[in-house]
Amino acid sequence: MSKHIEKLKKQLMDISEVVNSFKSEAVQVKVVDRLLDALMELEKTDGDGAEVFIKRGYKQRGGDEGNYAYARGPKKPGATKILNQLLSTDFFDTARSISSIANYCKDNFDSEFKTSELSGILLKLANEGKLRRERSNENNRFEYIRA
C-alpha 138/C-alpha 94 separation (Å) is 15
What are the CA-CA distances from residue 65 to residues 52, 58, 68, 69 (Å)? 15, 13, 8, 11
Task: Write down the pTM of the prediction.
Answer: 0.51
C-alpha 10/C-alpha 40 separation (Å) is 14
Dump pLDDT digits (tens) for 82-125.
999 999 999 999 999 999 999 999 999 988 999 999 999 999 99
C-alpha 93/C-alpha 107 separation (Å) is 19
Dump pLDDT digits (tens) for 39-64.
677 766 654 444 444 445 555 555 55
